[in-house]
Structure 1
Amino acid sequence: MSDDDFSLFQSAVCGVKPLRQDDRADTGAPRRDRRQIASRRHAAIQQVEAQKVDGLSDQFVIDVGAEDELIWARDGLQEGQLRKLKAGQIAFEGSLDLHGMTVEKARETLWNFLTEATRLEVRCVRVTHGKAARLDGRRPMVKSHVNTWLRQHPQVLGFASCLPRHGGTGALYILLKRTMLEGRDE
């Protein structure tokens, strides 16, 4: 600020007195209860965490075999995109391994992974679910659940079993919706 600017400013504020705190008018607005606000914020966070996983239902699980090849597309996904996905021609930008997890832990981990991938505008990810046969002789549990959950997830456009070098029938390429960040070409 030059000397001229400073003297001009001083002459403009000449005679101005700062307001005192007790000079404030009573607007009649109730004071906010900080504890109540903190309690509401905490409750909202807890509700969001509880709802995150509720989006993926186990009510009807599609039972699949260990060597079954999985492929699914939401209505509107172009056949060419699904062919590219199945052929491994769409590079995956993130990977998740669900080996050894319980069904509940796998669901929570998968939901968080897909949420983060969507937030980062990732187009394609790989999820390794494994294909181990269960001790009771029934079909793979996590693979069957992942197959069911992905069909319910609103951000999933389609999925296909991976090429052998990326995990074969024990893993999936997953194509996700993007909101297209500003300035992006595609």
Structure 2
Amino acid sequence: MNLEQDDIQLFRREIRGAKKLKQDTYVEPRIVEPRKVAARIKTAAAKQKQQNNELVQQQDISFYFSDQYEPLLEQDSKVRYLRAGEDSHLLKQLRRGDFAPELFLDLHGLTREQAKAELAALLYACEKENVFCASIMTGYGTFALKQQIPRWLVQHPKVRALHQAPKAWGGDAAFLILFETVT
């Protein structure tokens, strides 16, 4: 491309007073020692293995949730469950709100499969973090989750009790569960 003499003069007039840049910085290429690379690979592999183990454990928890299982839950106005061999006073304490939930799960707007996965994750977190009481908020909506959640929860061997939450913890739109902890 040939430039006209006028364009060249315009360019020179516009850059008048500009200083020439001096390139005096040099960044050496980074050389990584092979031992450090091997250590990073081992660390990454160990982390991946731990994540895979946690995923397998979480999937094991969801195994307990059968959609066909129909437990014998009392059919009065409040949903409640007490595992065999537990003190019946636990249900009264749950009803009164004597236990403060340490974890909260909000299932608003989720499908049944999403809710099942989230519930499994909550139970896994309760086990991993040694949480005694948790709250599960189902909302009002179509009542599909409100009816299904207790059916899933009673299938898990570490759920000691569940009761519809008192007003302070969500009322009719939530459940409180007591989870077996390691002491």
What is residue 147 of structure 1 aligned with on the other side?
150
Aligned ranges 1:127-138 → 2 under 5 Å: 127-133=136-142
1:161 Cα deviation after fit = 0.6
Q: Which runs of 5+ in 2 are unaligned?
A: 1-48
Find runs of 4+ consecutive structure 1 residues off by over 3 angstroms: 44-52
The count of residues paired between Structure 1 and Structure 2 equals: 133
**Closer/same/farther in 2, CA of residues 80 and 106 from structure 1, 3 Å limit:** same
1:146 Cα deviation after fit = 0.4
Tell me the TM-score normalised to structure 2 length: 0.64
Q: Which deviations, in whole Å up to 9, do the C-alpha atoms of 1:98-123 show, x marking residues without a partner?
A: 11000000001011111111111111
What is residue 12 of structure 2 aligned with on the other side?
none
Aligned ranges 1:5-154 → 2 under 5 Å: 50-60=59-69, 68-133=77-142, 140-154=143-157
In structure 1, distance between residues paired with 2:134 and 2:144: 21
Rg: which structure is higher?
2
Q: Which amino acid aligns with 1:174?
A: I
What is residue 161 of structure 1 aligned with on the other side?
164
Q: Which runs of 5+ in 1 are unaligned?
A: 1-40, 134-139, 181-186
What's the C-alpha RMSD, in Å, of the aligned pairs?
Answer: 2.7
Tell me the TM-score normalised to structure 1 length: 0.63
Q: Report which structure shows greater RCO (CA 8 Å, sep ≥6).
A: 1
Q: Which amino acid aligns with 1:85?
A: L
**Matched residues, percent identical?**
27
Q: Which deviations, in whole Å up to 9, do the C-alpha atoms of 1:44-87 show, x marking residues without a partner?
A: 8576564342221001357x9xx942111001111122211111
